[in-house]
Amino acid sequence: MTGVVTVAIRDKTPSTPPTPKPRHLNGGQGRPWLTAAMATLLVAATLVIVSSAAAPEAAAYVAEEGNGKIAYDVSFQMSRNTLGTVDPDGSNREAIGGSHWAEGGASWSPSGQQLAFSFFKGFIGPDNSGLGVVNADGTGVREIFTDDRGAGKPTWSPSEYWLAFTMSNNPGNSLWKITINGTALTQLLPDNVADPDWSPAGGRIAVARQLSPDDSWQIVVVTPGGGILDTLTSPNAQFVQARHPAWSPDATKIAFTGTDPTGQSGVWVMNADGSGATQLAEDGSDPEWSPNGALILYSGYGGPNVVPSTGGASMVLPKWEWEVYPRSEGGYDWQPIFRQLTAKHTTGLVDPANGKWHLYDVAGILDTSFYYGNPGDYPFLGDWDCNGSETPGLYRQSDGYVYLRNSNTQGVADIKFFFGNPGDVPIAGDFNGDGCDTVSIYRPSNQRFYIINALGANDGGLGAADLDYVFGNPGDKPFVGDFDGDGIETVGLHRESTGLVYFRNSHSQGNADSQFYFGDPGDRLIAGDWTADGVFSPALFRPSNTTTYMRYTNTQGVADNEYIPITNDATWLPVSGHMN
């Protein structure tokens, strides 16, 4: 697939490139303009750096299949801006976005198929600005959200279901999110926020934030629900302010703009926890990563620049000149290589009387059914062979026997072993973030969880738990989910008598990290990633009307979705997972 890059333009330089002034970066060499040969190499997708010990400033950027375009603001007659796309060598320019006046902050969807952008309609009054979405080829322009407060800088959730963005508070900006359908507008942070970037791993949004209007800008990580997880930067001798965070494609690093005590802005990169900050370029801002993480594109002297993400010489890309006095610098975003979207979790129901499983699609329509297990076995789902598909598991509470199957079909168990004591309740999930699910237990007699990160085999015993801790009250029923989007599933409990839901975000003893009420007494609770944004939230099966109710956030409120599964019974037990 051909790649793409997006640029929001804010400089005031003329369209004719000036002669580059000498800069002593990365080994003392001045930064060269990109040659025609190198521009040709940049046209393809994923970029690999081939360095030369003799001339590091002339490192060749060898293109492999998959690179893309740059989308950016282009100014006509020094007044109206529109959204444009262009190949990195300056060819194949195209104006997209329709009649909307692009205001910057264009953002590629994780699949690379759509662009979200902020717009201004050119008049003063209600609904004169907002967020729009357009296909990569310029078709299908549509408004997602309109307001008169000035929306800006959208960023996509990994599932492409949510957009996070800033909105003017006059003064200051607040942080919001909204679905791609224009629903569920939610404020995440109230003031002094800028430059949001959603982690490709889900569950975290990096932003620039001031504690007060007089404080310096620093980079903070928040949850998709608006909770502050960590402050990653603080004023120091190297940079006193930090802006424009950009996650690496593997979510392990963050590039950002650091401003030194003299007011000079440069491009920096640090680890995702804020450690190991390293400067890559002395005179630049607004960094964005190449799809494979090898390069960082940024706004620098002379226009768009690229620098190796591990350090090295920067190079200036061609200026993307338009018909009338364009400005082409800043706010870049690089079109990612196409990937398949993360699938949403779906639900199932199991008849405990005869061991028949009924698995449904996202609309509650029966997808498949089969027999597995004996009457009275406790059902659950998990990815036992680490292939991304969750399949049946059973726990025989009379003797602690575990039966796991690696396909959603009728048959005998593929994996069998013992774990726990009679009367224990099974739980299943990826408890250490390795991409594989295991079976653990909750012991109601002492409200203790026993977590183990391995599966047994050959009818043997599993051994001692890796972790154990007390959590919850007698009578509450356990469930599992990744409630903060960090890739590790933790435990929660549901009080069926009142509808209280509460959970922990770590495998440790302590009070609940979050709690809320959802549903009616007698409802049976499960959890899943219903929107494919990396965060689990609750769903309920209500026996009284055989209806499934889903909540898309871990907050108190009414269901965001509901359906009556086709084929159901009030006595059946709910399960959930990614079953495709």
Q: What percent of the chain has pLDDT over 70?
A: 80
Cα–Cα dist 234/248, whole Å: 21
What pLDDT shows up at residue 20? 28
Q: In this predicted structure, what is the pLDDT of residue 302?
A: 72
Tokens standing for 209? 């934030």
Question: Which of 308, 313, 316, 315 lies closest to 28 in space, CA to CA?
Answer: 313
3-state secondary structure 295-336: EEEEEECCEEEEEECCCCCCEECCCCCCCCCCCCCCCCEEEC
Task: Give me the residue label for tokens 């370029």.
Answer: 281
Contact (CB, 8 A) for 157 and 150: no
Q: How far is CA 338 from CA 1, 196, 203, 335, 513, in A?
A: 7, 22, 21, 9, 36
pLDDT above 70 (res 75) = no
Quick one: CA torsion of 11, 14, 15, 19, rounded to 10 degrees? -100
Q: Are β-strands 573-577 and 346-351 bridged in parallel, bridged antiparallel, or unpaired?
A: antiparallel
Burial 388-399 (b: 16+ CB within 10 A, else e): ebbbbbbbbbee
CB 330 within 8 A of CB 364: no
Element (H, E) at 38: helix 36-41
What pLDDT sits at residue 174? 92
pLDDT at site 361: 86
**230-247 confidence digits (pLDDT tens):** 999 999 999 999 999 999
Distance CA 310, CA 313 (A): 10
- Confidence (pLDDT) at 321: 52
* Beta bridge partner(s), residue 403: 394, 416
Question: Per-residue pLDDT for 88 more than 90?
Answer: no
Span of 5-14, 166-175, 347-356, 389-398 with lowest mean pLDDT: 5-14
User: 460 pLDDT band (50/70/90 cuts)?
Assistant: confident
* Residue 517 burial (CB count, 10 A): 13
Q: What is the band of 97 on the pLDDT scale with cuts at 50, 70, 90?
A: low
Q: Is the pLDDT of residue 331 over 70?
A: no
Residue 119's pLDDT is: 80
Query: Which has more pLDDT, 39 or 283?
Result: 283
Rg, C-alpha atoms of the chain:
26
- Across the chain, mean pLDDT equals 80
**Does residue 343 surpass a pLDDT of 90?**
no
Say what the pTM is: 0.56
pLDDT for the residue numbered 580 = 66
Q: Given this model, what pLDDT does residue 546 score?
A: 93
pLDDT at 264: 92
pLDDT at 403: 95
> In this predicted model, which residue has the larger pLDDT, 492 or 74?
492
pLDDT of residue 41: 34
Among 494, 496, 501, 489, which residue's Cα sits nearest to residue 556?
A: 501
Whether 25 shows a pLDDT value over 90: the answer reads no
DSSP letter assigned to residue 237: S
Residue 63's pLDDT band (boundaries 50, 70, 90)? very low
Going by pLDDT thresholds of 50, 70 and 90, the confidence category of residue 441 is: very high
How does pLDDT run across 387-436, given as a tens digit for each residue? 778 999 999 988 889 999 999 999 999 999 989 888 899 999 999 876 78
Is 298:256 a contact under the CB 8 Å cutoff? no
Pick 455 or 128 by higher pLDDT: 455
Residue with tokens 């069926």: 496
Q: pLDDT (tens digit, 9 = 90+) per residue, 519-544?
A: 999 999 999 999 887 889 999 999 99
pLDDT tens digits, 266-309: 999 999 999 999 999 998 999 999 888 888 989 887 778 889 99
* Digit-coded pLDDT (tens) for 196-222: 999 987 778 999 999 877 789 999 999
DSSP element (H, E) containing 548: strand 547-550
- With tokens 């997602």, the residue in question is 144
Give the chain's domains with CATH numbers. Answer: 4-335 (2.120.10.30), 346-577 (2.130.10)
Residue 226 has pLDDT above 50, yes or no: yes
Q: Using pLDDT thresholds of 50, 70 and 90, give the confidence band for residue 124.
A: low
Taking residues 348-357, report their average pLDDT.
Answer: 94
Q: State the burial class of residue 561 (Cβ atoms within 10 Å of its Cβ: 0-12, 13-18, 19+).
A: middle
Q: What is the average per-residue pLDDT within 39-47?
A: 36
The reported pLDDT for the residue numbered 472 is: 92
Q: Please give the residue that has the higher pLDDT: either 150 or 279.
A: 279
